[in-house]
Structure 1
């Protein structure tokens, strides 16, 4: 990858080769956006959250949550959902099953995302049977 002057893109295989010693965990990010304001979003929120919790229980959900406005003061109905799937097509099928999308309250896009760097810290206290994720 370093021998190219200023490319606008490189093949995914080249990125995988350059980061071969890293995690290279392939996930899929679903970006979800309201189609007609927050009314339809709130009307479908309970079913959407139940669906999300089902994905979590089944081990499909990696992470999900709302996207705040840039000033971090408001929620405009947007969200991000990261799922484990065999392919982008499978991730799209997961997103299509979401009651929020089935009802037309939100539209979505799916992007492949490969995790290479980062960390997760979990503290488990046996005596109090509590935990914290940092």
Structure 2
């Protein structure tokens, strides 16, 4: 690609080729947003969290949690859930089963996400049997 080109999209194959030596772990991000304020979100929170814990136990949930406002001072009910799935369709099926979405308290959008770079640091202290994830 020349310096004059400014593509709006690059084919997946080109991205995979460019990052061939990296992790290339395909996951799916589920962005979830309230439909009618926080009341319905809180009404479904217990069932939603139980669903998330079950996804974790089943090895489907990679990570999940709330998304703060841009000023990092509050929460408006948005969240992000990262799941292991074979396809976007399968990830969508997972999201459709979430009690938040079943009840209509939130709507969601699924995006494929490829992990190439990053790290996880885990410290395990034998004497106290405690661990820290950074």
- Fold in common (TM above 0.5): yes
Q: Deviations over 1:36-76 (max 9, x none)?
A: 00000000000000000001111111000000001111100
C-alpha displacement at 1:3, in angstroms?
Answer: 4.3
What is the alpha-carbon distance in structure 2 between the residues aligned to residue 116 and residue 85 of structure 1? 17
Give 1:37-116 correspondences, 5 Å limit. Answer: 37-116=37-116
Runs of 4+ with >3 A deviation: none
State the TM-score, normalizing by the size of structure 2. 0.97
C-alpha displacement at 1:126, in angstroms?
Answer: 1.1
What is the alpha-carbon distance in structure 1 between the residues aligned to residue 21 and residue 133 of structure 2? 26
What SS does the aligned partner of 2:100 have? helix
1:21 maps to 21
Root-mean-square deviation (Å): 0.9
Note the residue ranges of structure 1 that are not aligned, 5 or more in a row. Answer: none
Question: How many corresponding residue pairs?
Answer: 133
What is the alpha-carbon distance in structure 2 between the residues aligned to residue 121 and residue 70 of structure 1? 26
